[in-house]
Structure 1
Amino acid sequence: MLIKNCQVIFLDRVEKADVWVKDGLICKIGKDLKVEDSIYDGEDLFLSPGFIDTHIHGAGGFDTMDGSYDALNSISKAVAVHGTTAFLATTMTCSFDDIKKALSSVKEAVERGTEGALVLGAHLEGPFISPKMIGAQNPKFIAESSIENFMDFAGEYLEYIKEVTIAPEINGSEMLIKFLNEKGIVSSIGHSDATYGEAMKGIDWGISHSTHLFNAMKLLHHREGGVVGAIFDSDITTEIICDGIHVDFPVVRIALKQKSTDKVLLVTDAMMACCMKAGTYSLGGQKVLVDGSSARLESGALAGSVLTQDAAVRNVVKYTSYPLHEIIKMVTYNAARHCNVQHKKGSIKEGFDADLVLFDKDINIKKVFISGREVVL
């Protein structure tokens, strides 16, 4: 298939070009390409690398903690129509048995493939977190940070785990963070009540990322920098939920000025109500009330989101002045680098996987391709 006349979003620019896709790969990029193949005219449309969501619990009425291939496959189809072509299935702070079951389904989804967005692996959000920054996690299942506890539920699935959210101030975290680094797994500070000093120690031990910036972490104070201060005062990457509910848009602008678009990932933290009607759902075994724009526990605490990645991009386009290629980088290349797949995903380059999204100037999705296969919208 030849996609002609589109505005191609490269890592450093937007430029009009044709893109030839063959056998699931980007075969050739150029102007006025002549090939014997089907043609799609992308005039007035932008061609982006597929979006990658590194923090998503569920969508379409299903959750990673359902612990089944069918659930992950359904999530993959629900988010693909919004431009997400790959994701990390994200677990909750639950029993070890339930986490192990979820990891087993992630393994199957990675190896078997899915009908929609590809599952790149798992992001474990807990159970090694602070009870003082519980968020929507279940406090009954918080576990002591230790290599032994981690291996109890994760030992069979190490190669499928890409990220672990952890509170570095919890006893035993130092050894676990160093162990995760040895295994090539990203340690992310989150759900943490750490002081600035404790957070910086965690970064020294190997923490390289932070989970949903500002949410469920000790905030910046002028006499105590907290976790946010450590994130701003270090080179680690971070992720932001840009729905205007988890983080106000002026604060998003402040964070982007501090960290730059090179260090930020746009994630959804979506739960099963994403792409669904308002109503009552669940997250980590807890009742969640969804009003169409937000998801909350009965206590009023935010419980993930109903955000999609195209909406996140739309929000950043609307509320900041960054050029489109820098915004798109935060849902593509940065996320690919985070998952260590930047050699084949996250950029429009010859030889890369043909995970592609076509959208108009208002970020309305028009076509989605995953490994060169068109997704039915």
Structure 2
Amino acid sequence: MKAIVNGKIILEDRILEDSALIYDDKIINMVSNYQVREFNLDSIIDAKGDYVSAGFIDLHIHGSGGYDTMDGTYEAQSMISKTIIKNGVTSYLPTTMSMPKELIKKALHNIRNIHIKDGAKIVGVHLEGPFINPKFKGAQNEDYIIKPDYDFIKDYLDIIRIITYAPEMDEKFQFMNKVKKHENVVLSMGHTDASFEEATKAIENGVNYVTHAFNAMSGLHHRNPGVVGALFSSDIYCELIADTIHVHKGLFEAFIDINKKERVILVTDSMRAGCMKCGNYELGGQRVIVDENSARLEDNTLAGSILRLNEAVENIKDNTKYDIREVVNMVTVNPAKAIGLYDKIGSIRIGKSADLVIFDENITISKTIINGKTFHEVV
């Protein structure tokens, strides 16, 4: 057994001050600091007054550290996993792109057969494209966009957790109706030109998630509310890329107010340039120019991001009324619940995986612990 002492432990509904957390591969107990002596411990970590929370979960990330999910190799996925633990991420969904079918299948096959032992845990796949609307392709390659095709992905529904698609391209919701039979798969609207009526109907029929809200979708207009209006009128999960570039920081608080703090999920949508230097990179076979703030195609289209998930937490904390516990829930509790894994990860609770992070007031990560083992430590 191990312990973290002198920490402010962030639970889903409250923060325990000056408390200790007892764990091995799973969380064993939470006690006062003076009670630690009652346990036969192998090691003790002094949090020195910093926050201790459940590990962060990124449900939308293409790559980081110079590698991309679509590379389709063990090395690529391993390096992504090792890189993002520095940002407090303990679980994530490798995210695909609209590319040739054989490359998508290669990436899915690679993820299914990979077992990461020294990085963030892969808990499924986010299939973003190729079932999207070319009008809102964003940085996706239009040459490889196709209509929703169940037969193409049916053999991978054991590992797919989220499918981003344009519901208006799904004739009579034939694709949706087949996918809905698989309870582990979340259908998400994204890269879509759906009208308010089309989007609302899709939600009523099974869509319960929205990919990177505001970006690559029909926008909000008082006479044509579009997908954003349908999101505002519903009670479904929604992603937010809180880098202050994809969405202006002045909108953060209103967006969370409208959609409810229990439904907002902070994601990075990071591409391979995440945690790397500025320069020229690649996304979906397209050249991407990366500066200190953003990643863009040559035509200036945003191409994912270089956001780190701990930075997203900081940006929301610094620009809204929401407190640290409420914001941390947006990268722990909410994503775990959205993909049906809250019984295993997403909060500090006895019996759950000991996936933990320690960070200061600026959300600077000092330790990342996965299944009770420390993988990242700032000395």
Q: TM-score by structure 2 length?
A: 0.96
Moved more, 138-147 or 215-224: 138-147
1:180 maps to 179
Alignment of 1:286-365 (within 5 A): 286-365=286-365
Aligned CA RMSD, in angstroms, stands at: 1.0
Quick one: distance in 2 between partners of 1:218 and 1:375? Answer: 41
Quick one: distance in 2 between partners of 1:327 and 1:131? Answer: 34
- Tell me how far 1:136 sits from its aligned partner: 0.2
Matched, 1:30 2:31: yes
Give 5+ residue unaligned stretches, structure 1.
none
Quick one: distance in 2 between partners of 1:9 and 1:146? Answer: 42
Q: Verify the 8 A CA contact 1:220 1:229 in the aligned structure 2.
A: yes
Quick one: distance in 2 between partners of 1:261 and 1:171? Answer: 30
Alignment of 1:198-213 (within 5 A): 198-213=198-213
Quick one: distance in 1 between partners of 2:62 and 2:328? Answer: 22
C-alpha spacing 1:279/1:173, structure 2 compared with 1 (3 Å): farther
Quick one: distance in 2 between partners of 1:233 and 1:355? Answer: 34
Q: Which residue type is aligned with residue 79 of structure 1? A: I
C-alpha spacing 1:213/1:181, structure 2 compared with 1 (3 Å): same
- Cα displacement string for residues 244-298 of structure 1 (whole angstroms, at most 9, x for unaligned residues): 0000011121110101110100000000000000000000111000002100000
Alignment of 1:166-177 (within 5 A): 166-172=165-171, 174-177=173-176
- Cα displacement string for residues 150-188 of structure 1 (whole angstroms, at most 9, x for unaligned residues): x22x23321100000010111436111122211121000
- Cα displacement string for residues 208-241 of structure 1 (whole angstroms, at most 9, x for unaligned residues): 0000000000001000110000000011110100
Alignment of 1:78-227 (within 5 A): 78-109=83-114, 112-147=115-150, 151-152=151-152, 154-172=153-171, 174-184=173-183, 185-227=185-227
Quick one: distance in 2 between partners of 1:62 and 1:359? Answer: 26
- Report the 3-state secondary structure (helix = DSSP H, G, I; strand = E; otherwise coil) of the residue aligned with 1:182: coil
Q: Verify the 8 A CA contact 1:268 1:306 in the aligned structure 2.
A: yes
- Cα displacement string for residues 99-121 of structure 1 (whole angstroms, at most 9, x for unaligned residues): 10000111022xx2342100011
Q: Which residue type is aligned with residue 359 of structure 2? A: F
Quick one: distance in 1 between partners of 2:243 and 2:113? Answer: 31
- Tell me how far 1:375 sits from its aligned partner: 1.1
Q: Verify the 8 A CA contact 2:253 2:321 in the aligned structure 1.
A: no
Percentage identity across paired residues of the two chains: 42
Q: Verify the 8 A CA contact 1:146 1:175 in the aligned structure 2.
A: no
1:3 maps to 4
- Tell me how far 1:339 sits from its aligned partner: 2.1
Q: Verify the 8 A CA contact 2:85 2:376 in the aligned structure 1.
A: no
Quick one: distance in 2 between partners of 1:173 and 1:2? Answer: 54
Question: Which 4+ runs in 1 deviate beyond 6 A?
Answer: none
1:277 maps to 277
Quick one: distance in 2 between partners of 1:376 and 1:264? Answer: 27
Give the number of equivalent residue pairs: 370
Quick one: distance in 2 between partners of 1:172 and 1:80? Answer: 41
Moved more, 173-182 or 73-82: 173-182
Q: Which residue type is aligned with residue 118 of structure 2? A: E
Q: Which residue type is aligned with residue 344 of structure 1? A: K
C-alpha spacing 1:314/1:173, structure 2 compared with 1 (3 Å): farther
Quick one: distance in 1 between partners of 2:245 and 2:365? Answer: 23
Quick one: distance in 2 between partners of 1:216 and 1:252? Answer: 18
